[in-house]
Amino acid sequence: MTKRKLLVAGAGGFIGGWLVKELLNDLNNQVISVDIKPLSEWYQTFEGTPGIVADLRDNRITDQLVEGVDVIYNLAADMGGMGFIENNKALCMMSVSINTNLLDSARRYQVREYFYASSACVYNQMLQKDSNNLGLRESDAYPADPEDGYGWEKLFSERMARHFYEDFGIETRIARFHNVYGPHGTFQGGREKAPAAISRKIALAKLSGKHEIEIWGDGEQSRSFTYIDDTIKGIKLLMGSEFRDPLNLGSSEMVTINQLVEIIEDIASIKVKRNYNLAAPLGVRGRNSDNTLIKELFDWEPGVKLHEGLTTTYNWIYDELSKS
């Protein structure tokens, strides 16, 4: 049997690494992993797939990599948590060149399927001013007023993927990720998201004996957080379907940041003093995933409870910090 040739862009990142691991479980897959980071900085590497270091903002490179490929998974982007995307809007928007190049190369080399990793940051900010957010439906991205910089890039790239299906027949699938977390992810350095950041702070508090952490804002901003296993399962379900519109891929278990701290305190078996930094980047006040559509399509939604996923994540971060 001829193997399917799969290209994973952003394979050195958090979600990309877990996706490569899952794709390698199928012996009919030949996986090509590519990322701009040096191999020493990839979150995970695996035998059986070449780790290629390349800049996909160069269309000559995407042409070389895409020739002969059957499926492209595009998870490559310059991004991070709120602290990064609010202070690096131009860099975030430059990721549009990656998607442009990959789609154009896919068109010319007749790639059959294309997955685009979008984000809940595409949603209209006017609908996210209340911490008691009832859930954002896929249609709530329009009229458009997404997160400045990163959100606009994601929304534009969604439309590009849609039109490459309409004009050139590339079967495109689009998932809107909602705050994905888990082990083997970023937990320090400025690009980490809230679950990893709070886990790191509490782990360091426990290791140092100084039970005190900083929290951005008043802690009452709310989010839903999606465990990596659910994210990978959702990608597989979407790629095996005929659904071509953007789809929420997120947990509907919404918590405030203060509640997130309480969960991780329970996991770590300590209590910490909370120092609130009201001048820190906050993003929208409340965001949650409306999972009506994904349940209709697949009779499934992300279901790993936050306490369960955070236990694995916190313990991994604690062990990593203990090594240093």
The catalytic site residues sit at: 150
Measured CA to CA, the distance from residue 147 to residue 154 in angstroms comes to 9
Q: What are phi and psi of 72, to 5 degrees?
A: -115, 130
The answer to whether the bond into 143 is cis (omega within 30° of 0) is yes
**In the structure encoding, which two tokens stand for residue 105, read together?**
């190369």
73, amino acid identity: Y
CA 6 distance to own-chain centroid: 19
Measured CA to CA, the distance from residue 246 to residue 289 in angstroms comes to 13
Measured CA to CA, the distance from residue 80 to residue 69 in angstroms comes to 29
Nearest one of 116, 122, 89, 84 to 102, comparing CA atoms: 116
Q: What is the DSSP string of 53-74?
A: E--TTSHHHHHHHHTT-SEEEE
**CA distances from residue 9 to 51, 62, 65 in whole angstroms, order as listed:** 11, 10, 10
**In the structure encoding, which two tokens stand for residue 185, read together?**
């992810």
Q: How many CB atoms lie within 10 A of CB 239?
A: 16
User: Burial code of 87-121, b = ≥16 C-beta within 10 A, e = fewer?
Assistant: ebbebbbebbbbbbbbbbbbbeeebebbbbbbbbb
